Structure 1
Amino acid sequence: MSEESNEIVHLLTQMKLTWNAGDSAGYAGLFTEDADYITFFGLRLKGRQAIEDTHRELFKTSIKLGEGGGGAPSIRHLTGDVALVIAGGTSSVDGEPDPSRASVVTLTALRTTEGWRFASFQNTRVSRP
């Protein structure tokens, strides 16, 4: 795996750690200032501040991120500074894993002056057709 891919995997790990710690500022800091963020139910957030504000409230709940589903994330470098990332995940409520909450997350990773950050996030719940 390339050094850039390792840095993106680290960013994904930080995403899970900040979420589970309830750190809305740390979580939002993983995104670019002008990031586009779309939740599994279609809410569109625009920008780091909106991500932080929304997650501050969400993190008051007992939802935690579990182990990623579907194996290692797929990272495809589109240019030296842009990568398409597809990762799977699950979450738990009150400490109990909830398979009905499995999702696929598509992100755009961008190399910035702050390091790699996510410029877009789309969470899609896994369901049967």
Structure 2
Amino acid sequence: MSSSNSAKPIATEALSIDDERAIRDLVARADRSQADAAALPGLHTDTTAIVNFYGRRILGRDTVEAAMNAALSSGLGAVRTSVEVIDIRPLTGDTALVSCIKTVYDERPAAEQVPPTTGALTYVTVRTPAGWKIGLAQTTPIVSD
């Protein structure tokens, strides 16, 4: 009987150059669509999950669209973001983990609550028949001391 209890890592294939390019393009389109409730939800899977800066969990593409419409019609419509991809790692042949830095630009006059200015954004992207989509987006605030 072996006393070793270590699990072997699951081998994953490297992403092709085309897949990596498509994932980077997906992230760039999501970044450009932050204020476009007609475009951004379509970049997500039907069963997507999003956890925003404040820990609000939004489940499903229809809920994402409704939440975006509500946010854009409020003062949050003046909050813009930019995203920089730091790393892309394949999880399986059809999923990849994308690590990003999100920067927030709060353009609201006299904002009552200013969100953190940067966050660690993680996407899980999924290959679908329609191309790569976002299956999960989660942002953790980066707190400066």
- Normalising by structure 1, what TM-score? 0.85
**How far did 1:25 drift?**
2.4
Determine which of 99, 106, 110 is the counterpart of 2:126. 110
Using a 3 Å threshold, how does the CA distance of structure 1 residues 57 and 4 change in structure 2: closer, same or farther? Answer: same
CA distance in structure 2 between the partners assigned to 1:54 and 1:94 by the alignment: 20
Report the aligned-residue RMSD: 2.2
Deviates more, 1:58-67 or 1:29-38: 58-67
Residue 100 of structure 1 aligns to a residue in which SS?
A: coil
**How far did 1:59 drift?**
2.3
Which residue type is aligned with residue 29 of structure 2?
A: Q
Query: CA offsets per residue over residues 32-86 of structure 1, 9 Å max, x none?
Result: 0001111111111110011111111222320111353xxx431001122110111
Unaligned stretches of 5+ residues in structure 1: none
Determine which of 71, 82, 90 is the counterpart of 1:77. 90
- Normalising by structure 2, what TM-score? 0.77
Residue 24 of structure 1 aligns to a residue in which SS?
A: coil
Runs (4+) off by over 2 Å: none
Residue 30 of structure 2 aligns to a residue in which SS?
A: helix
Kindly indicate whether residue 128 of structure 2 is the aligned counterpart of residue 121 of structure 1.
no
Residue 89 of structure 2 aligns to a residue in which SS?
A: strand
CA distance in structure 2 between the partners assigned to 1:120 and 1:67 by the alignment: 15
**How far did 1:89 drift?**
1.4
CA distance in structure 1 between the partners assigned to 2:51 and 2:93 by the alignment: 25
Greater radius of gyration (CA): 2
Determine which of 25, 40, 45 is the counterpart of 2:53. 40
Contact 1:90 1:99 in 2 (8 A): no
Aligned pairs for 1:1-129 within 5 A = 2-19=17-34, 22-60=35-73, 61-66=77-82, 68=84, 72-94=85-107, 100-128=116-144
Which residue type is aligned with residue 27 of structure 1?
A: L
Q: When the two structures are aligned, how many residues end up with a matched partner?
A: 123
The answer to which structure has the higher strand fraction is 1
Using a 3 Å threshold, how does the CA distance of structure 1 residues 49 and 6 change in structure 2: closer, same or farther? Answer: same
